[in-house]
Amino acid sequence: MKALVVFESFFGNTEKIANAVAGGLAARGEVTVRKVADLRPEELKTFDLVVVGSPTRGFQPSDGTKALLKALPAGTLQGVKVAAFDTRMDVKEVNNAFLTFMEKIFGYAAEPIGRALVKAGGTLVGKPQGYFVHGSEGPLWDGELERAAAWGEQLVG
Ligand SMILES: Cc1cc2nc3c(=O)[nH]c(=O)nc-3n(C[C@H](O)[C@H](O)[C@H](O)COP(=O)(O)O)c2cc1C
């Protein structure tokens, strides 16, 4: 199985999760980890499994992630397994009623990424995942790297 984990990361947390997911996937084949900026959208269809990871920004995927998803015409990912994850902050930690309200309505990045990948023809394997960071810059919560590696293993299990 040829797998790709593609991510965008500003403070390094999503990159760490991407590498942990790749570690889990590596049990079952060849894994490539790439930054979204270094990837041409047409490369995606050359993989058996594509995992897209993004920081949640403004309750959505980051701009680079959105650009990648937008560049995938319908059907491009036919026959490709897909999965999605995000990193996010815990709004309870920020303790801001407005953010809590907005988060309830608009959510996080992983679900819309999963939907876009399916719209492009991919077959979703595994539920989109969110991994928590402290504040905006991290670090990741304890145990998130292990959870990400286990999820990676499950995707190919
Ligand atoms: C401009 C900006 C907007 C953000 N918006 C959200 C948000 O809507 N929801 C959320 O949970 N976290 C939000 N965050 C926190 C990011 O999710 C966090 O910075 C990210 O997970 C860190 O990943 P990275 O180190 O890979 O960049 C935001 C952070 C920044 C800087």
Per-domain boundaries in the chain = 2-147
89 ligand 1 Cβ < 6 A:
yes
> 2-147 falls under which CATH superfamily?
Flavodoxin domain (3.40.50.360)
Q: What one-character-per-residue DSSP string does 48-103 give?
A: SEEEEEEEEETTEE-HHHHHHHHT--TTTTTT-EEEEEEEEE-HHHHT-HHHHHHH
Distance CA(22)–CA(2), nearest Å, equals 11
* pLDDT value at residue 157: 86
- pTM for this one? 0.97
Model confidence pLDDT, tens digit, residues 81-92: 999 999 999 988
Q: Which of 17, 62, 132, 136, when mutated, tests ligand 1's pocket best, judged by the most ligand atoms within 8 Å of its CB?
A: 136
* pLDDT value at residue 92: 83
Residue ranges, the chain, pLDDT below 70: none
* pLDDT value at residue 22: 98
> Residue 137 CA: which ligand 1 atom is closest?
19
Residue nearest to ligand 1 atom 31, measured at CA: 136
Distance CA(132)–CA(1), nearest Å, equals 29
